[in-house]
Homo-oligomer: A and B are copies of this chain.
Amino acid sequence: MSIQKIARLAGVSVATVSRVLNNSDTVKAKNRDRVLQAIKEANYQPNLLARQLRTARSYMILVMVSNIANPFCAEVVKGIEEEAEKNGFRILLCNSGSDIERSRSGLSLLSGKMVDGVITMDAFSRLNELAALIGEAPWVQCAEYADAGAVSCVGINDVDASQHVVSRLADAGRQRIALINHDLSYKYARLRERGYKSVLHLRDLEYQAVEYASELSSAAGMAAMEALLAAPTRPDAVFAVSDTLAAGALRAIEQAGLRVPDDIAVAGFDGTELAGLVSPPLSTIEQPSRDIGRKAVELLLNKIDNPDAPTERVMMDWHYIERAST
């Protein structure tokens, strides 16, 4: 079922078949019909490998997600999908788990010319390695700030957002505010920790406690919260850098027989559906997840069409949602 066979079937040359396939308008109606007929009869489907090898264009973009199970990531991906589809692009998802071997494997699709560009959501600390693998190919980093190299990126101002949450907790009279953070290989983790610490400093709050979750799951959030509760001085507020972690913290507090927010206030981050589902519902920073995804595609397509386009760093707006957990 190659273009050859169709040509034979329709009694025309392969060039003509190709023209029909590509909607060239220079094909005589009769020939077009014969080709279309032959295609249908043979249930012919063009070989993408050959086409892309020839045209050096795939209209596909690779999306390297750090963790597909993270609802925030899923939302961003939806935004990416929407915008890509709107522009005639298809997306291929690769779950890197921020693992460099996996990333390498995934990125071979890029260097191997199967896709036209890549959107990554990997940890900042991996960016240099990624940069080496990606080389000159179109690339946008998403939902994780990149301040080095020529990568365009889109995200929010994590320091500001984090400061806002912690300030609100302090405003409400909380004295001992703890942080449940993700590991510091992520830039956003560093930035949010910076925001947290700066507010403690500004407000002369002495208590400071940071627990690092090994992954963005609520199990990890529970474990972190248990560690905080086991310390000699108990926090009266906890800021978790993701709703998933915060949901786990909630659970741990409940299991310790304490009440939220009476004994301990809990705030999350991301503004995922989960935040509104748990009990009590979580105060959180809502990120414009879909828009982040859409914007990333916009930047990437721009880069694909125009390889010399300057590097862009886009900051999106966030806002704080106050709920019963604080």
Interface residues of A (CB under 8 A from B): 43, 45-53, 68-69, 71, 74-75, 77-78, 81, 90-95, 105-106, 108-109, 111-114, 135, 217-219, 247-248, 250-251, 254, 273-274, 276-279
Contact = CB atoms under 8 A, between A and B. Distances in A.
A68 B90 CA distance: 15
Given A43-B135, A90-B106, A277-B278, A49 B218 contact: no
Contacts of A43: 135
Nearest to A45: B111
Contacts of A71: 69
Contact of A112 (B46, B91, B278): B46
Contacts of A273: 217-219
Contacts of A47: 53, 112-113
B75 A95 contact: no
A58 to B, nearest CB: 8
Contacts of A90: 94, 105-106
Contacts of A114: 48-49, 114
A108 B60 CA distance: 12
Contacts of A248: 277
Given A48-B114, A114-B114, A218-B273, A74 B68 contact: yes
Contacts of A77: 68, 95
Contacts of A111: 45
